[in-house]
Amino acid sequence: MKETPLSICEKQCVIQAVKEGQRVDGRSLAEQRKTCITFGTEWGCCQVLLGNTRVMAQVSCTIQVPKSSRANEGMLFINVEMSTMAAEHFEAGRLGQQGIEVNRLVERCIKDSRCIDLESLCILVEEQAWEIRVDIHVLNHEGNLIDAATLAALGALCHFRRPDVTLDGREVIVHQLDERDPVPLTILHYPLTLSFALFDQGKIYALDPTNLEERSADGKLVLGLNAYRELCTLQISGDGVFIRKEAVLSCANVAASRAVEMVEMLKKCLAADAAERIKGKYDGLVSSVALEAERITTQSQATAYFKTPVHNLEENADEESLSVPKTKLVKDQGIVTLETKSDVSSSESDIEMEPLPPASVVKKRVYEEIDIGNDSEEEPVMLITKELT
């Protein structure tokens, strides 16, 4: 499948807006979309939402023979997977040019900046070492895959715990997770990427571009930074992009301060996750299903507006239904009780927002969170008794 081509008026609208210092989703030029990081039950699973862009990373490890050129180091392998799920023009099992670009940038940001202490992954010199593999799955492509992918990869690496090993002479004993506490990776610094879309011959730059902005821009500036304001990677690319040195420097400064905030946030999320785990009854990604209705924010409406205006016409006749009132549905049989919660918190933010013309075509989402009893898997939740049939 080919990607739906971008119409000239869409492109011009974006460019014009940017020139006036505005963006189609209402952000300012140096503003990022809302970022949300969640972790799975397994070690080393991290899902990142950057606006509507959704990326999941999973870290796994195996014992391998180290490379002869680096006999006392473990290995890090980064693999980006893009399937049709993320966008219609991606093909499962085959990375296109875009995929390779993302893969290489993540590799350069995380692997080449040596943020993981690979020497600590060596078990026996020249014989055995851990190979850490990061699989990054792009689930939804709404622009700025690179930032989302690096954040997810870094989050997953921070979250990951490998089984402990001990040496008995030259024999390696791998301890199962329940036998001995697993060991986290040694992270030396936290590198992240921040991307700018470049417009108007490199004079205007917009942080965290959406897909629409990426496709209308001249090119892209990707900066890899850590919390110590160190540059880890940098790339300017795009068909016919020109940029002056001054612009690069000012982007770098903006990005450096952002990177500090992002690393803070990631650390907070990691700490929150650890606290949850201690409490027990941890269900990982389940809680991110039907993620808060907060996500109906200004941006998502705007992107939706640009994406499929006609498709959503009937669906959104009235504005109030944006916030679904709290309801409790009780099944007639009296056996199955379905509780339905709905988050109303979003409605406030919506009211404050300047409605985009035409307001009626704003796409909104309805979230269902239909719980049957509580979420624990320990106890049987609901019994199917004979009466059911």
Partner 1 sequence: MVTNFACLQTTLHNFVLFFTITFLVQFKTHSYLCFIKILKSSVTLFTMETEQKSIRALKCEQSVLSRADGSVMFSQGNTVVMASVYGPLEAKIQKELSDRMYVEVNYKPKTGMPGVAERGKEKLIKTTCNHIILTNLHPRTAVCITIQEMQDGGTLLSASINAVCLALLDSGLPLQCLVAAVTCLVDKKDKIILDPCIRTVKEGYKAMFTFAFDSQKYNLILSHCEGQVPYQLFQEAMELCQKASHIIFDFYRQAVLRKFSKELL
Partner 2 sequence: MSGTELLSDQGLRIDGRKPNELRRIRCSLGIFAQADGSAYLEQGNTKVLAAVYGPHEIRGSKSKALHDKAFVNCQYSTATFSMGERKRRPRGDRKSTEMSTHLEETFAAAIRTELYPRSQIDIFVEVLQADGGNYTTCVNAAMMALVDAGVPLKDTVVSCTASLVKDTPLVDVNHVEQSGGSPELVVSILPHSGEIVYMSLTQRFHIDHLSKVLDTAIKGCKDIGVILKEIMKGHLTKLDTSLQAS
Contact footprint for partner 2 (CB under 8 A): 69, 95, 97, 100-101, 103-104, 108, 112-113, 191, 201-202, 219, 224-226, 228-245, 248-249, 252-253, 256
Among 141, 159, 162, 258, binds partner 1 (CB under 8 A): 141
| 113 interface partner picked from partner 2, partner 1, none, CB below 5 to 8 A per type | partner 2
Those residues whose C-beta lies under 8 Å from the C-beta of residue 114, and which sit 6 or more positions away, are: 188
Rounded to a whole number of angstroms, the minimum distance from the CB of residue 168 to partner 2 is 35
| 243 interface partner picked from partner 1, partner 2, none, CB below 5 to 8 A per type | partner 2
Among 140, 159, 276, 356, binds partner 1 (CB under 8 A): 140
Rounded to a whole number of angstroms, the minimum distance from the CB of residue 293 to partner 2 is 39
Please spell the DSSP secondary structure of 60-127, one letter per residue. EEEEEPPPGGGTT--EEEEEEEE-TTT-TT-BTTB--HHHHHHHHHHIIIIITTT-B-GGGGEEETTT
> Which residue lies nearer to partner 1 by CB, 81 or 214?
81
H/E run at residue 21? none
Burial of 11 (0-12, 13-18, 19+ CB in 10 A): middle
CA distance 238 to 217: 9
| 216 interface partner picked from partner 1, partner 2, none, CB below 5 to 8 A per type | none
> Which residue lies nearer to partner 1 by CB, 87 or 269?
87
74 closest CA partner among 128, 152, 147: 128
Among 104, 175, 189, 307, binds partner 1 (CB under 8 A): 307
Beta bridge partners of 222: 195, 235
Residue 318 makes contact with partner 1 by CB under 8 A: yes
Rounded to a whole number of angstroms, the minimum distance from the CB of residue 228 to partner 2 is 8
136 closest CA partner among 128, 124, 148: 148
Rounded to a whole number of angstroms, the minimum distance from the CB of residue 258 to partner 1 is 24
Among 45, 148, 204, 217, binds partner 1 (CB under 8 A): 45
57 closest CA partner among 188, 163, 160: 160
Those residues whose C-beta lies under 8 Å from the C-beta of residue 270, and which sit 6 or more positions away, are: 39, 155, 158, 159
Q: What does the binding site for partner 1 look like in residue numbers (CB under 8 A)? A: 1, 40-42, 45, 47, 52, 54, 56, 58, 60, 81, 83-88, 92-93, 133, 135, 137, 139-142, 283-286, 288-291, 300, 303-304, 307, 317-318, 321, 324-325, 327, 329, 331, 336, 338, 340, 365-375, 377, 380-385, 388-389
